[in-house]
Structure 1
Amino acid sequence: MSHAAQASAHGPAHGEGQQHPIKLYLVIWGLLFVLSAFSYMVDYFRLQGYLRWTLIIVFMLLKAGFIVAIFMHMKWERLGLKLAILTPPLALLVLIGLMAIEGDHTFLTRLASFGQEAAVPASVHHD
């Protein structure tokens, strides 16, 4: 059996004209709208501090995940392609987290060793 005959026997090829149901796209658009509304509600209810930023980042990552998975068709891609696209940003997030932890450690070490005056840069002091 030829390759073309095998492809037609198993249905359309993945990359050749595969159509996803319009209902899926409408549901995702609705979900993106709801997540955006939740994100705006964080400001509307005037949440502050870590709760505010945690909720904003969670809603942002959920929206980005749905956009990448559905509208960029990552849900239907092979694992190798997913890893090639998603691993570098995830590695950057890990490195940013490590730098934030190291920065906090350095700041707290300065406070413990030299006191409050040494922790504040000299350009901030107004004599």
Structure 2
Amino acid sequence: MAEQQSQQGQQHPIRLYMVVWGLLFVLSTFSYLVDYIGIQGYPRWSLIILFMLLKAGLIIAIFMHLAWERLVLIYVILFPPVLVLVFAALMASESNYTILSRMTFLGTGS
């Protein structure tokens, strides 16, 4: 009986995959519309990154079956990239401070 269950596996309805595929198509369309409309500056990049993160989240949750995994496994997979992003943001802010202090106290170097 256990052998029969292991061969069967977990089945997800095809409708779920089609809905996610449709959502990915819609999000991609919105991402291209941001450029087509001509939004510039921070709103443009914010919208593009938002749509990118939403698409990545859908792909990870549904196509990589992370939505059905244990919470510990989700933390193991998602926590390190979030930490990398936090550390990259800290380094970027520190680099701005460093260049500003160098320009203030050492001059522009012409």
State the TM-score bracket (shorter-chain normalisation).
0.7 to 0.9
Partner secondary structure for residue 103 of structure 1: helix
Find the counterpart in structure 1 of residue 43 from structure 2.
Answer: 51
For 1:70 and 1:24, the matched residues in 2 are separated by 8
Structure 1 gaps of 5+ residues are 123-127
Structure with more contact order per residue of length (Cα contacts < 8 Å, sep ≥ 6): 2
Runs of 4 or more off by more than 4 Å in structure 1? none
Structure 2 gaps of 5+ residues are none
Find the counterpart in structure 1 of residue 102 from structure 2.
Answer: 110
Find the counterpart in structure 2 of residue 22 from structure 1.
Answer: 14
Find the counterpart in structure 2 of residue 125 from structure 1.
Answer: none
State the aligned residue count.
109
CA displacement 1:62-116 (0-9 Å, x = unmatched): 100000000000000001111111111111111111111111112222343345x
CA displacement 1:3-40 (0-9 Å, x = unmatched): 94xxx9xxx67x95211111111111010001000110
**RMSD between aligned residues:** 2.2
- Name the amino acid aligned to 1:113: F
Find the counterpart in structure 2 of residue 82 from structure 1.
Answer: 74
Q: Please tell me whether Structure 1 or Structure 2 has the larger radius of gyration of its CA atoms.
A: 1
State, as a whole percentage, how many aligned pairs show the same letter: 59
